[in-house]
Amino acid sequence: MNAQTELKKSIRKWVPAPLMKAYHGFALRKPKDTPARRQRLRAEALQGTKFPLSRDLLEKLPTLVAHGYPSGNPDLHYQDTDVKTGIACTEAEACLLHHAARLAQPRAAMEIGSYIGWSTVHIAAGLPASSTLTCVDPFLKGGGLHETKDLDAEARFLANIKAGGAQEKVRLAAEKSPQVLDSIAPEGGWDWAFVDGWHMDGQPLKDLIGVLPLITPDAVIFLHDCWGADVRDALSFLLASGWDAHVFDTSNYLTICWKIRPAWMDEYISLGSQPEYVNGVAQARKIFHGLADASLQAIKEAYVQPVAEFVR
């Protein structure tokens, strides 16, 4: 028996650890979408949502149900029963976005990748009455860059925005980013941004490069799902361009970035350090994903020259 055949046999015999095996089984199976299953997942979402703001908003969005954790770090995520092209952030991440809007009091905020509006209504709830939140999402059927438009997804987003009481603040651009950004940017630029669009094909970096010329010098930028390679590339670009960042120990590593440190930053970071926000598994895996403080500093130093050449 040659070495290649032996290797194939050993791979076939490999059995993952029990917990890993259970997780992979859950992730790979495709359960039937039945009314009973929807009811069960809705109950899981309502029972598992603990923060008062998130619980109040969830009760107003009746098609939002529980979803498994895509990053592998345990926490309750949400998905629409009908619009399954995305997965919404956790309640901890949504509340951190809300508090950032509340503390920053931005004049003009923006969000790339709004899905069905879960994060949107949290952000809008923290904004001053005079602020606007520009949401950029083409609502594509398959979630990819070249799919056709899903009118049902757009309608669900608009219905949720109204149900969540955010319709007076939200301005929707149902187009692709970064192509549409120049034409919709407010005078003076955005001073608060959440970049959470398509996470593959280098799109996070493309979105970021599209946003940077259209924000104020003191703006903050949020990234989400920094466990993904393409999102980490976008974060690396920011770090090497003179920005600083703090990665929260949430399931999907919500990250706030700034070039001028806001006066409210210490208070904000302390909010994310409270026990109810801490995800121990995510904290332990930060080093693996290159998101620990020492890793961020190393990225900042290593990428300065390549980025300088890129933008020259």
pLDDT digits (tens, 9 = 90+) for 210-239: 999 999 999 999 999 999 999 999 999 999
pLDDT tens for each residue of 121-142? 999 999 999 999 999 999 987 6
Q: Which residues pair with 111 in a beta bridge?
A: 135, 194
**102 and 71 co-located in one domain:** no
Is 50 exceeded by the pLDDT of residue 19?
Answer: no
Of the three residues 32, 48, 80, the one that is the final residue of a domain is 80
**102 and 35 co-located in one domain:** no
**99 and 241 co-located in one domain:** yes
Please check whether residue 143 lies inside any domain of the structure. Answer: yes
Grouping H, G, I as helix, E, B as strand and the rest as coil, residue 61 is coil
**C-alpha angle 149-151-156 in degrees, rounded to nearest 5:** 130
Higher pLDDT, 297 or 61: 61
* Number of independent structural domains in the chain: 2
Please check whether residue 195 lies inside any domain of the structure. Answer: yes
| pLDDT value of residue 303 | 76
Return all residues near 208 (Cβ < 8 A) that are at least 6 apart.
Answer: 195, 221, 234, 237, 238
Please check whether residue 136 lies inside any domain of the structure. Answer: yes
Please check whether residue 240 lies inside any domain of the structure. Answer: yes
CB count within 10 Å of CB 21 equals 11
Average pLDDT of the residues in 194-216: 96
Please check whether residue 303 lies inside any domain of the structure. Answer: yes
Q: 153 near 116, Cβ under 8 Å?
A: yes
**What share of the chain has pLDDT > 70, as a percent?**
84
**203 and 171 co-located in one domain:** yes
Is 70 exceeded by the pLDDT of residue 306?
Answer: no
Is 70 exceeded by the pLDDT of residue 23?
Answer: no
Is 50 exceeded by the pLDDT of residue 25?
Answer: no
Please check whether residue 86 lies inside any domain of the structure. Answer: no
Domain harbouring 200, CATH code: 3.40.50.150
Please check whether residue 123 lies inside any domain of the structure. Answer: yes
**180 and 290 co-located in one domain:** yes
Coarse DSSP helix, strand, coil percentages of the chain, rounded to the nearest 5 percent: 45, 15, 40
**168 and 235 co-located in one domain:** yes
**164 and 256 co-located in one domain:** yes
Is 90 exceeded by the pLDDT of residue 150?
Answer: no
Q: Which residues pair with 80 in a beta bridge?
A: 64
**75 and 126 co-located in one domain:** no
Beta strands 64-67; 255-258: pairing state: unpaired
Q: 88 near 78, Cβ under 8 Å?
A: yes
| pLDDT value of residue 307 | 56
**What share of the chain has pLDDT > 90, as a percent?**
68
Q: What mean pLDDT is reported for the chain?
A: 87
Is 70 exceeded by the pLDDT of residue 274?
Answer: no
Most confident of the following: 64-73, 113-122, 146-155: 113-122
| pLDDT value of residue 224 | 97
**30 and 134 co-located in one domain:** no
**36 and 102 co-located in one domain:** no
Higher pLDDT, 70 or 201: 201
Of the three residues 61, 80, 99, the one that is the final residue of a domain is 80
| pLDDT value of residue 97 | 98
Please check whether residue 85 lies inside any domain of the structure. Answer: no
| pLDDT value of residue 20 | 43
Q: What domain range is 153 assigned to?
A: 91-311
| pLDDT value of residue 166 | 98
| SS3 assignment for 146-161 | CCCECHHHHHHHHHHH
**178 and 294 co-located in one domain:** yes
**196 and 117 co-located in one domain:** yes
